[in-house]
Amino acid sequence: MRLFTGNTSIIDASKLKLASTTTSPNAYGYMFYGCSNMTKGPEIYATTLGNYSQERMFQNCSVMNEVKVHYTGNFADPRFTDWMREVQTTSGTFYYNGSYTGRGTNAIPTNWTITTFST
């Protein structure tokens, strides 16, 4: 939790693999909060999530335009509270193999393309 909070030196975190398939409560909460220069987020392997495990993970990552997730469930629940709030890019790519297509700060960013990827 809060591992990289406010680090404006991070530009591309796509090589980072958050490899745990099961997360504990608050595991990744605020991890990249305020990384305002980050354009690409890490690949997130978690498929079983603890409460609030992704809360505000990418909040204020205003220029982020790419993230890969292995979770295939519903993003509109407390585990994702404001996880992409203040992501302001007008386009991006959400690599995802699920069927949920909800948009917004607790889901897939508005105007991002959902692209299926193989693992």
pLDDT in tens, 67-108: 999 998 888 888 888 999 999 888 999 999 888 888 887 788
What is the distance between the alpha carbons of residues 49 and 24, in angstroms, rounded to a whole number? 7
pLDDT tier, 1 (very low <50, low <70, confident <90, very high otherwise): low
**pTM given for the model:** 0.91
Cβ-Cβ contacts under 8 Å for 45 (sequence gap 6 or more): 17, 18, 19, 20, 21, 70
- pLDDT tens digits for range 9-31: 999 999 999 999 999 999 999 99
Interacting residues of 51 by C-beta distance below 8 A, sequence separation 6+: 25, 26, 78, 79
The answer to whether 108 and 75 have CB atoms below 8 angstroms apart is yes
> CA 85, 90, 94 angle in degrees (round to 5)?
70
